[in-house]
Structure 1
Amino acid sequence: ELCRGDEYSVMYTVTIPKLGYCRTSSERATRPGTDCRRLWPKCFNSKDMVNRGIQNGTLHIQVKFDRLVRKHHRWTPTLAFNREKLKMLRAERQVDVTFVVGQPHDQTRIRANSALVLLGAPGLQAIIDLAPVSSDGRRRVALPMVDPEDFRDMLRFVYADDTSFLADKTSQTDMLDQLSVAVAFGCWKLKVLLEIKLATNHLHVNSCVDLLLFADEHSCSILKEECIKVVEKNMTEVW
């Protein structure tokens, strides 16, 4: 029986027979009763699902859980102050800015306190300052090219140093997506953490060139240095 509030490590396979679509997730952390959209594969377009996936008036989706393990040491903020800030984010208390994140067909509105956000992600300063003020008195910031899940993860980290979205088996693709968001908005503490995680968990001979190109493009000096070391040690295999 699942316990509400406890954290679980989840891996699953999603199949939509009509579309011939099948994807196995990386390991993710979640809690019963929370928004399950963060577990849905990012690459799947909900509009395509409606337009092409329905057969005889019914949309068939098969979900197989390959792994569902309760974590005995779930993450909690080390300080009571951090716990309170995380509650603020969840309850949308003391908010003065609304982030409209994602493409029009799948937008998510995330309300936050701009002062707290800018402490950890100062790259958002100019975007917030130039954003129009809506009828509720809050600034409305549109971020259509950002994935809502990645942006929410960054906010949780900014508010309370929450790293629960970084499971041991978080995929390279997911980490690179999160790193791109951290770089874009100047969340340098999260950027450094993700660079170290990528170098530790995903850097090897087959990935070093791709990661090196990414690191160079996004000014990730830690990851770039580690990639160069791997390339130098395996020059014949890489080239």
Structure 2
Amino acid sequence: MPTSKTVTTFTQQTEQGTHVFDIIGYSQHRGRDDDGVAKPLVSGRFLVGGHKWLVLLFPDPINYTNVLYQDRVMVLLVLRSKNVKVRASYELRLLDQNTGSWVSVYRSAPRLYEFVNFDDRSSYIASFAGQRSLFESSTYLRDDRLTMECIVTVMKSHCRETRSVPKIQVPPSDITDHFAKLLDEKIGADVAFSVGGENFTAHKNILAIRSPVFRAELYGPVSEGTAPITIEDMQPDVFRALLRFIYTDSLPPFDDLEPNDYCEMIRHTLVAADRYGMERLKLMCQSILCENLHVQTVATTLALADQHHCDMLKDACIEFISCSMNAVAATSGYKNLKRSCPSVLVDALEKTSKLPKVVLLQGVYAISTWLLKASERRLHVATTLTFYCYCLHL
């Protein structure tokens, strides 16, 4: 199934600016106005992200009545651009007078800032209350001088980019082609077979891993050593097809065979698959035969299915016969089936009629007894039995 993959990259465009607030004579700026309100130290305005900002420092507590602020130094970041909303964050640093390096004392999360009226003392933005002992320690306050650095980061437009991920096409597996080449070129072959006057070579380990019967023959206590192994009761083409399946997990195409010869080859291959315990090959042969049932050969296929315990193929044959009884009964294969495997016909009739097997067997026994007596009248037993079975089927 074709698939595609895309990736979206979401990035935040930002602009950052730094403002240094150097307070000389820190102690001189402490105090309150006549109304008792703490007076802030106000930095100059500075631009970051196209917006105006300033920093307020309250050396004295804003609210003496609140114990939380009594030992605190308040630092505020204020947006001074009018009628705007800005999403920003800021970091406050103090200059270490001993080392000359900046030390971060506060870092805010990004938030939305709006313009406020500076005269409205209750509307300050982005406050930070630091310990007075920290700000006024000798590390940061020396010679009555305190130096702060405020780093403002303004979040600007978002950037969203979607792109396709390159897809690397992997070709289908060709391992079966390599195994077929191994069989054809006989590279490293270590076992030989003689089948119907033809010689074949193969690889023991491959045969053993694919077939439990070959494993026992080649590596078991009764293995025949290095001499060629003779395979009886098998045609060379069938053994060739068996080897092809062992190496490639597929059957050869048999393109040069006529339909009847093709089905006959598949029947022989099914027998070979059963002989060597290759269940997948056996099922493949059953599937092919099931798709190629014919009036002239269905009885032969039924006998084969019964002999090699192919229940699904057997059921398919019985179903086919039940739909074409008259035509099938006239074939030579059906006549051979009556003589060699009458029990198969009883099974077939039981499945296609409403009578149980015991009734059918009783009927066969009764009619057979009658037929023996009727033999003096020169009645053909098989023909009469066929007629009886046909009547039961009806």
Deviation at 1:86, TM superposition (A): 0.8
For structure 1, the 5+ residue unaligned runs are: 1-77
Deviation at 1:205, TM superposition (A): 3.1
Which residue identity lines up with residue 94 of structure 1 in the other structure? Answer: G
Whole-Å separation in 2 of the counterparts to 1:84 and 1:229: 42
Whole-Å separation in 1 of the counterparts to 2:326 and 2:233: 38
Deviation at 1:236, TM superposition (A): 4.6
Q: 1:207/1:148 Cα in 2 relative to 1: closer, same or farther (>3 Å)?
A: closer
Whole-Å separation in 2 of the counterparts to 1:121 and 1:154: 11
Partner of 2:230: 142
Which residue identity lines up with residue 195 of structure 1 in the other structure? Answer: Q
Flag the structure with more relative contact order, 1 or 2, with Cα contacts below 8 A and sequence separation at least 6.
1
User: After the TM superposition, which residues 32-47 of structure 1 pair with which residues of structure 2 at under 5 Å, given as runs?
Assistant: none
Q: Which residue of the other structure, out of 178, 185, 210, is the alignment partner of 2:276?
A: 185
Deviation at 1:208, TM superposition (A): 2.1
Larger Rg: 2
- Tell me the secondary structure at the aligned position of residue 171 of structure 1: helix
Whole-Å separation in 1 of the counterparts to 2:243 and 2:214: 12
Whole-Å separation in 2 of the counterparts to 1:226 and 1:80: 35
Partner of 1:220: 310
Deviation at 1:111, TM superposition (A): 1.3
Question: TM-score scaled by structure 2?
Answer: 0.36
Partner of 2:248: 160
Q: CA RMSD in A?
A: 2.2
Q: Which residue of the other structure, out of 122, 130, 133, is the alignment partner of 2:225?
A: 133
CA contact (8 A) 1:131 1:141 kept: no
Deviation at 1:224, TM superposition (A): 0.8
Which residue identity lines up with residue 176 of structure 1 in the other structure? Answer: R
- Tell me the secondary structure at the aligned position of residue 98 of structure 1: strand
Partner of 1:206: 296
Whole-Å separation in 1 of the counterparts to 2:188 and 2:230: 20
CA contact (8 A) 2:244 2:252 kept: no
Q: Does 1:113 align with 2:203?
A: yes
Whole-Å separation in 2 of the counterparts to 1:204 and 1:101: 30
Whole-Å separation in 1 of the counterparts to 2:253 and 2:198: 18
- 1:141-175 Cα distance to aligned partner (Å, 9 max, x none): 21132212111111111101232334483532222
For structure 2, the 5+ residue unaligned runs are: 1-171, 330-389
CA contact (8 A) 1:127 1:141 kept: no
Q: Which residue of the other structure, out of 262, 265, 276, is the alignment partner of 1:174?
A: 265
Structure with the higher fraction of residues in helix conformation? 1
Q: 1:222/1:114 Cα in 2 relative to 1: closer, same or farther (>3 Å)?
A: farther
Which residue identity lines up with residue 208 of structure 2 in the other structure? Answer: L
CA contact (8 A) 2:217 2:224 kept: no
CA contact (8 A) 1:123 1:185 kept: yes
Q: 1:145/1:189 Cα in 2 relative to 1: closer, same or farther (>3 Å)?
A: same
Whole-Å separation in 2 of the counterparts to 1:164 and 1:210: 23
Q: Which residue of the other structure, out of 186, 190, 197, is the alignment partner of 1:96?
A: 190
**Identical residues among aligned pairs (%):** 25
Partner of 1:86: 180
Which residue identity lines up with residue 215 of structure 2 in the other structure? Answer: Q
Structure with the higher fraction of residues in strand conformation? 2
